[in-house]
Amino acid sequence: MNLDFISQISFFKRKITTKVQKFAKFKNKSSVEYNASLSVKDILEPLVEKEMRDTNKMIEKLFRRLMANRMGLFTIVKFDIENYFPSISLRYAYEYFIKDKISEKYHPLFENYCDNVKYNLAGLPPSSNFADIMSNALKDEIFDFFHVDGLTDCFYHLNEFVLLFKKRVNEIYIKFGILECIKKVFYKRNKLQFQNKVKVKTDDNGYKFLDDTMLPKSFTWLGYKLAITYGWQGIGITLDISDENMEHFRKAIFDAVKCNFEDEEKMRLMIYSTTRNVVTNVHRQGKPDKVVSISPFRFYKNFKKYPDLIGDNTKRFMQGVILDAFRQQFIPTPFYLKYKNSNSGYNLWYNFLSNKSIVLNKSFGWSYTKLYNTIKKYPKIDIHSLSYDDLAKTYIELFVIKL
């Protein structure tokens, strides 16, 4: 059966940090085509390098590598692939990197999907898996090319790569090598009707080269700013990520003031600023199992291990983000925020160092009474007959920030 995937797809634009990007989505999620695309995604899942999906672990590993080599010779190269998703020919990816790794019974489905959609449109269920598989192929090729040149690590997240060398390597040679690897992975066998259009970014934002002779220097990756100077490293967040996180507070403040719910406003701000996660389940041994993010600050996990290395700009942001959110909207600062208190529950920096979190488990976390009394402050929510688990679910629905 031939499915007409492309007729079921619509396009829209979304602002991601400072950029506006084009995405695709299925018009009808009950259509046969949508469910078939989910099948394609599931079949590809075992081929994806799971390690590269966890950006927190990658950033921490990268930072540990930098710290371990703080006094030695090194070369760091960061490069991005321009407009990556729609530059990948699906048929090419399937023929040369997927076909021989999946069961033959799936071949007709993949051929139908690849030939009908043609390019890897961002936003469709299988799109990240196709991109990851091709990025992993590029990573393998980069290691093969540079293994004699002291390459120790190649990190990637979709289209963003960072290479670490344990010695100084000539920049022109590295650029040449990256282009050769791109050609070998995406163009060497590109004889199909729909060809790849993959290009490496060469501008200042998409490419960065530095070695131990160029210190002090810094580079950004996945929203983090990594600073390197003589014998010392520093970590922080980029300006666009600061703006993105500030927006969570602006919205919470605006909605609360508009509805004139001072208690709700106070409660939301307290929860957003004091909490990094909510633990909702436990293993049999009683250890936390599932963590749900409440705070919009995804960098907490990596920062908590290096408080002394956090940059001044990031520290100031964490200390003043809530007050600044009020000021930027010209909203009078509530009495409980008027005076700066370094030990305030509304000071992200203090809460960060205090390692605060919320455990929604009645055995060793918040009690039923505390959870009930916390939620009952929220207007128009009937909770008097709810079980502990239902209260926990209600709490998460009210306050978990969708990132």
For 41-58, how does the pLDDT look when each residue is reduced to its tens digit (9 = 90+)?
999 999 998 877 778 788
> What is the average pLDDT value for the chain, to the nearest integer?
82
Which residues, at least 6 apart from 397, have a Cβ–Cβ distance to it below 8 Å? none
Q: Write out the two tokens for 255.
A: 């909605």
Q: What is the CA radius of gyration of the chain?
A: 24
* pLDDT of residue 293 exceeding 70: no
Q: What is the mean pLDDT of residues 387-400?
A: 77
Mean pLDDT in residue range 192-199: 84
Task: Check whether the bond before 108 is cis (ω within 30° of 0).
Answer: no
| Distance, CA of 168 to CA of 165 (rounded, Å) | 7
d(CA 142, CA 164): 11
Which has more pLDDT, 17 or 244? 244
Q: Domain residue spans in the chain? A: 6-237, 241-399
Closest CA relative to residue 348, chosen from 246, 273, 399, 296: 273
Q: What average pLDDT does this structure show over 189-207?
A: 79
> According to the model, what pLDDT value does residue 133 have?
96
> Which secondary structure element, helix H or strand E, spans residue 219, and what is its range?
strand 217-221
Q: Does an H or E element contain 272, and which? A: helix 262-274
Mean pLDDT confidence for 123-138? 95
Q: Which residue has the higher pLDDT, 162 or 235?
A: 162
Interior/surface letters 212-245, b for 16+ CB within 10 angstroms, e for the rest: beeeeebbbbbbbbbbbeeeebbbbbbeebbebb
Q: Is the pLDDT of residue 17 over 80?
A: no
Using a 10 angstrom Cβ sphere, with 0-12 exposed, 13-18 middle and 19 or more buried, the burial of residue 330 is exposed
Q: Which residue has the tokens 């980029």?
A: 238
Q: Which carries the bigger pLDDT value, residue 274 or residue 290? A: 274
* pLDDT tens track for 19-45: 677 889 999 989 999 999 999 999 999
